[in-house]
Each structure stands twice: as C-alpha cells, then as structure tokens.
Structure 1
Amino acid sequence: MSDIVIADEQVQLVDPRNRPCGSASRAMMRRLGCWHRATYIVVRNARSEICVQERTPIKETHPGWFDLAAGGVVSAGEAPMPAARRELFEELGVRGVELIAGGEFVFQEASLKLYGSLYWVDYDGPLRLQPEEVAAVRWLSISEALSLDKATPDTRLALARAIALDHW
C-alpha cells in the first residue's frame, strides 16, 4: 500500500468512552490526535516464542522499531475481529487461523490515543511480509521481546496484557 493510500485510509474514530463518533483519514486522525481503535495480534509458535516485526523506516510512528504484535488501525465501519484478521493477513500473510480474543485495553501516549483489541494466535506456518510495513521478523522468547529497547510502547502493553491473562 502506498503512503498516499495509507494517509487517505478512513479510520474509525471513537470518543473517550470508545463509542463510534465518525471517521477521518489516517493522516487527519494522527494530526489531530483523535481517539480511535486498533488491533493487536500476538503470534506465538509451538516453542512459545512470539513473532516480532521490525518496522520499516518509512512507518509514520516509531520507524525502525519493533512491534511485539501484528495489527493496526480499525477502518471506518469495521469491527475489531475482521480488522485483526485483515491486518494479520496484510502484514504476515497469515489467514485461516483461529484468533483468540483477549479483551480490550486503553493506550495513551502524547497524541496517540486508542482502544486496543487484543488477540493471539498459535502459528508455525510460513510468513509473507508486507514490504511497506515489515522489514523483517524474528521469533523471540517473551523475555527477549520485552527486553528490546525499541519495542513500540503500545505493542509492549498488548503483550503485557496477554501475559497477565495467563495464556502462556
């Protein structure tokens, strides 16, 4: 997906109580710091390692950092589960797997304000990376992943929530 298309993508906006209140382009949502929804899918293999993505240097936030979960913003009119399935396929090429729901959480840092929907999936198959967003992946233990200096703060919170739910 090109930068122009990504910037124009219509995002579901919500109020501070997570109630839908319209939509805006991704660029406008970022510029105004609007509340929105996002999905987080922790991908775990049979060795209990998680798939950590290295973000490309052209990402709009935290370029070159590491994501401890797949996922992204929920499009206008889209529900979180279909958004999670879409993002998992777009970023890693994974489809046809059972997503296990882990609830919601709130993340707020500076102008980034979102309601995250957490999922995880057990997966040992091949990956097909989205070149615009994912530079590389590596499989790390949870402790290795959490010790990364440049792990994105929202995916760090998502992983901590999954651990707290005792699904490891």
Structure 2
Amino acid sequence: MIEYWDLYDKNFIKLDGYSHIRGRRIPKGYYHLVVNTIVKSGEYFLFMKRDPNKASYPGYYELTAGGSCLKGERPFHAAKRELYEETGIRAKNIERLYFYKSNAAFYMGFIYETNKDKENIRYQEGETVGHRWVRKSDLRDFIDGHKVATKSLRRYLLKFNESI
C-alpha cells in the first residue's frame, strides 16, 4: 500500500496540491509532519521497543508511539491512530506538548495520561516488539541500562523544567 503525506513549507503552511510518497526523498525546502505520543500512567511512562528490523534505532526503546501524519489527516487524529496501531491503546483525550522543525519534518508531540490497566499493550508487526513501564524515579537507570532513543524524553522533561 502506498502511503501519501501532505507537504508543508518552512513556516508549517500546508501546500495545497502537493503530496509526498513515503520512502521517497523529500525535496529540499519541503517538510512533512511526524506525530509522537507519550503515555503516562501515574508515575510510570510507557516505553515501546522498536522492531530490530527498523531502519532507524532498531531494537531501541522509545518513549513515544508515533509516525507520519497521512495526507488529509489532522495531527490529533494521526497521533491517536499511531498510538492505537503501535500499542493497542485507544486514547480519547491527548494534549499537545511540543512542536519543532528538524531536517525535512515538523515534529508534534502529545501526551496521553491514563489510569487504565497497564497489562493490555499489544504490538504492531514491523514496528514494535516489546514494552516496559518505567517509574519516573527509575528513568536514569533505565536509560543507562538499555538502548533508548531519548529525544522525546528530553523534550518532555524540558517542557516541565525537570531533569533525570
């Protein structure tokens, strides 16, 4: 299945009539949108383990579930879709945390806070292969003891002026 993305200019203005096919190089000066959702349950954060066959960060733990926003899709919907696809969690209310531009993409981060049963996580074939719930007080030990992609974690902590 071919996946299409909307394209944006450097000011995050969607370029009507322009789209991009996943897997092709994004032309210089154009951007697509990537959404990421952090899941927090009380003092615990959900880390998803990336499939070892992924091109980037294979086998790493990642604080977020996420991916590219599809053509015509709104960011909140894309974040909820990606969260469900990669974890099985159906989020009703998510809150936007951060937004930044890097290379050929804009990144929009969200958080979903829940008190639901933490044992019902499922994985998406080719994307996720495991998970860990990590208590906030154990984040430093977890990062030191595992391969962890930390960009989203650092952005979350910066948002709340916290450190680990």
> Structure 1-normalised TM-score?
0.77
* 1:44 counterpart residue number: 40
> 2:15 matched to 1:18?
no
Equivalent of 2:157 in 136, 157, 160:
160
Maintained 8 Å contact 2:48/2:64: yes
Q: Partner amino acid for 1:58?
A: N
Once the two structures are TM-superposed, the CA of residue 143 in structure 1 deviates from its matched residue by: 5.1
5+ long unaligned stretches in structure 2: none
Maintained 8 Å contact 2:47/2:132: yes
Give the Cα separation in 1 of the matches to 2:88 and 2:12. 29
* 1:121 counterpart residue number: 113
Higher CA-based Rg: 2
> 2:81 matched to 1:89?
no
Maintained 8 Å contact 2:6/2:72: yes
| Matched positions, count | 155
Root-mean-square deviation (CA), in Å?
A: 2.7
Distance 1:31 1:42, change over 3 A: same
* 1:131 counterpart residue number: 125
5+ long unaligned stretches in structure 1: none
Name the structure where helix makes up a greater proportion of residues. 1
> Structure 2-normalised TM-score?
0.78
Superposition pairs of residues 23-34 of structure 1, within 5 angstroms: 23-29=19-25, 34=30
Q: Partner amino acid for 1:121?
A: E
* 1:140 counterpart residue number: 134
Q: Percent identity over the alignment?
A: 26
Q: Partner amino acid for 1:25?
A: I
Maintained 8 Å contact 1:59/1:133: yes
